Structure 1
Amino acid sequence: MKHPVDVHVGKRVRHRRWMVGMTQQQLAEQVGIKFQQIQKYETGMNRISASRLWDIADALDVPVSFFFEGLSGKVEAEGGAEGLPADILSDKEALELVRSYYAIPENQRRRLFELARVLSDAA
């Protein structure tokens, strides 16, 4: 049975890996394991040891605490505010949108953000 904390940490590993544009194979090679093990970590099927989490954090250039961000004292139910999934960035399309958004120059990005806000209010 998957523990909710292991699932959360695995989602954060996948999220960060996607954000830096790294494949499971590339991460596995940097950590010195098989990519199948990364798959199991990302789904929460296998628990990540402290030393392995340290290696993964180093490979993904984040502090270990990154993987626990957003985890409250209680295990949170699926589904977030306003009908959004609890882990919106687990969706590949949403992640690609975020990557593209941050690739836009800052002044244009602010204008795009304001446009998106106006359009969402109109819906």
Structure 2
Amino acid sequence: MEYRQALLKPQRPNPFRMGPKPNAESDAHPADQHVGRQIATVRLQSDVSQAQLARSIGISFQQLQKYENAKNRVSASMLYEIATSLGVPVSRFFEGLPGNDVTGGETCPLPVDERIDFIASAEGRRLIEGLMQLHPRVRNRVSGLIAALGEEMASLE
């Protein structure tokens, strides 16, 4: 009988119980997302693959993907390793971050716009890799086709 009453007795919530797992993309801090995009941008500008960069800093390419997509936060020491491997100052990854204005005659940060975000995305990388496999003449024609389609779409809107 006591056992049955114990089962029916309301339980206090356990403060140590883990809640639902947060959605990493939506819960990532905007600064972490910005730094991840900047890592991808600098890596692409340096013509370095994820596998090459990951190998040079001693991590898996999957871990690098998590950094670039802000699924995992980048530690200060890892950010230093990435910057050193890519030959840029650590501050490069913070350029364009709101509240991080450059002063004192330093160069202005490059604007981060949707084109760079697209190039750094998985879809953008696949598109570029596919285009690079084409013969230059064919690639030029595909580029013309895409431009014509873009103009057509703009005229329809």
What TM-score comes out, normalization by structure 2 length? Answer: 0.50
Give the Cα–Cα distance (whole angstroms) in 2 for the partners of residues 62 and 24 of structure 1. Answer: 17
Larger Rg: 2
Give the Cα–Cα distance (whole angstroms) in 1 for the partners of residues 113 and 45 of structure 2. Answer: 18
Corresponding residue to 2:117 among 90, 93, 103: 90
Give the Cα–Cα distance (whole angstroms) in 1 for the partners of residues 117 and 81 of structure 2. Answer: 22
Question: Which residue does 1:56 correspond to in 2?
Answer: 82
When residues 19 and 59 of structure 1 are mapped into structure 2, their CA distance, relative to the original with a 3 A threshold, is same
Give the Cα–Cα distance (whole angstroms) in 2 for the partners of residues 57 and 67 of structure 1. Answer: 8
Question: Which residue does 1:33 correspond to in 2?
Answer: 59
SS at match of 1:91: helix
Task: Detail structure 1 runs of 4+ shifted over 3 Å in the superposition.
Answer: none
**Structure 1: runs of 5+ lacking an equivalent:** 75-84, 97-123
Equivalent pairs: percent with the same residue?
46
Q: Does 1:14 align with 2:40?
A: yes
Decide which structure has greater helix share: 1
What TM-score comes out, normalization by structure 1 length? Answer: 0.63
Higher relative contact order, chain-length normalized (CA < 8 Å, sep 6+): 1
Question: Which residue does 1:4 correspond to in 2?
Answer: 30
Give the Cα–Cα distance (whole angstroms) in 1 for the partners of residues 79 and 61 of structure 2. Answer: 15
